[in-house]
Amino acid sequence: MTRRFACVALVLVLFGASASAQQKATAQNVQEISYTSVPNLLKIPAGETLGEAVGVATNSSGHIFVYHRSATTRLWEFDRNGAFVREIGKGYYGFEFAHSVRVDPQDNIWTVDEGTNTVTKFSPEGKFLMVLGRRPPAVEGAVATATGPNPPAQKYIFCRPTDVGWDPQGNIFVSDGYCNNRVVKFDKDGRFLAQAGSEKAGSEPGQFNLPHGLQVDGQGNVWVADRTNNRYQVLDNNLKPLKTYTNLGVGWTVCVSSGPHQYVFASNSNPNGNAPGTWANTGEIYKLELDGTILGKFGHASKEFGGFQVVHMMDCRNPNEVIVGEIESWRVQKLVLR
């Protein structure tokens, strides 16, 4: 036991930068929720390959949208049984490096692309409706990878945005992102209303260090997976901080189910790179009430089917059928909870 602790301590020293991302959740005595994973969920067309499955979402008909990183970033639609329906946004200028796909209450499909710094709204039929943000213009050439402090955040320009959500009025919320550290609120037509945080990372309430996932509940409160701060933050509709949850491990991604009684799912995803020891500490998903009461947890880090390899996004339209997209196993699984 002592040896293992020493080992872990050494690992923490060696992997100092990622140490915070392999945090064990402090929540105690959490009930295990049993589940099964539906075999052979997605029928990928012959000759095509799914890449890193970073984005997954369903619409009101149960169709599954997968926004993934293959040779190029692509958005695929499957029906509720996993049969391939079509590709959306083929060759679209706003697709370069997928991060999130979400479906709004009107079944519009929204993509968040951290390679082009754009958030795009497509109609249920896959037609372009609106874009927020702007792809850095190619004519300015290949810009060297930025080092040093982030430049000041701009109202209408994102810096590697990560996720999108809507309140019941249709206002748009964007988590932004890897090189800004803020949450932005726009009206339904894309006009800037407010932001919390800034380009600077911070750990106070209302500040963020890599806001990595975002969803809005039925009261209009905004749930933010504040990844590098190892916490989830809840903001009110005007982005004032309400609550912080620090007992769920790393704040990787969050999902709020639909219907009158909403549940929250929060993933303590095992970190990219799978530093030694992390599989024992991380990988599980928590199910909560909106007041933060933990109802249970499920899953664990594993490369085998049924286990998780860095859950990047969850769909929980039906809280008893959670669909997860994984980065490192290029996989989408539908989990039926008991």
Partner 1 sequence: MKSFTPIVLGAVLLAGVTVRAQNQAPEIAFESVANPLTLPDDIYLGEVGGVAANSKGDVFVYTRTGHPTISIGGSRAFAHGGSRLFQFDRSGKFTREIGKDSYGMMFAQQVRIDPQDNVWIVDQMTGYVMKLDSGGRVLMLLGRKPESVPVPAPAPGAGGRGGRGGGLPGAGAQSDVFNRPTDVAWDSAGNIFVADGMGNARIAKFDSKGVFIKSWGSRGTDPGMFGTVTALAVDAQGNVYAADGGNKRIQVFDNNGTFKTQFANVGTPSALCMTPGPNQFLYSSNSNPPEDFDSGGEIYKLKLDGTVVGRLGKAGKRPKEFGTVNSIDCRSENSLLVGEVSNMRVQKLTLR
Which residues would be at the binding site for partner 1 (CB under 8 A)? 72, 86-87, 89-94, 96, 126-128, 130-131, 134-135, 137-144, 154-157, 189-192
Cis geometry, peptide bond prior to residue 47 (ω within 30 degrees of 0): no
Distances (CA, A) of 206 to 183, 211, 234, 312: 9, 11, 9, 23
Which C-beta is closer to partner 1: that of 77 or that of 107?
A: 77
For residue 67, give the amino acid letter: Y
Distance of CA 315 to the CA centre of its chain: 10
Which C-beta is closer to partner 1: that of 1 or that of 139?
A: 139
Which C-beta is closer to partner 1: that of 67 or that of 92?
A: 92
Distances (CA, A) of 137 to 93, 142, 267: 11, 10, 35
Q: What is the rounded CA–CA span in Å between residue 189 and residue 297?
A: 38
Which C-beta is closer to partner 1: that of 24 or that of 135?
A: 135
Which C-beta is closer to partner 1: that of 74 or that of 331?
A: 74
**How many C-alpha atoms does 6 have within 13 Å on its Cβ side?**
3
State the nearest-atom distance from the C-beta of 252 to partner 1, in Å. Answer: 28
**How many C-alpha atoms does 136 have within 13 Å on its Cβ side?**
12
Q: What is the rounded CA–CA span in Å between residue 24 and residue 9?
A: 14
Contact between 162 and 179 under an 8 Å Cβ cutoff? The reply is no
Distances (CA, A) of 274 to 290, 301, 331: 31, 9, 17
Which C-beta is closer to partner 1: that of 11 or that of 84?
A: 84
For residue 63, give the amino acid letter: H
State the nearest-atom distance from the C-beta of 104 to partner 1, in Å. Answer: 16
Q: What is the rounded CA–CA span in Å between residue 309 and residue 327?
A: 7
State the nearest-atom distance from the C-beta of 72 to partner 1, in Å. Answer: 7
Which C-beta is closer to partner 1: that of 84 or that of 128?
A: 128
**Phi, psi dihedrals of residue 190, rounded to the nearest 5°:** 85, 15
State the nearest-atom distance from the C-beta of 211 to partner 1, in Å. Answer: 20
Q: Write the DSSP assignment of 81-111 as a string of letters.
A: TSBEEEEESTT-TT-SSEEEEEE-TT--EEE
Which C-beta is closer to partner 1: that of 158 or that of 252?
A: 158
Distance of CA 243 to the CA centre of its chain: 19
In 3D, which of 34, 101, 46 has the Cα closest to residue 73? Answer: 101
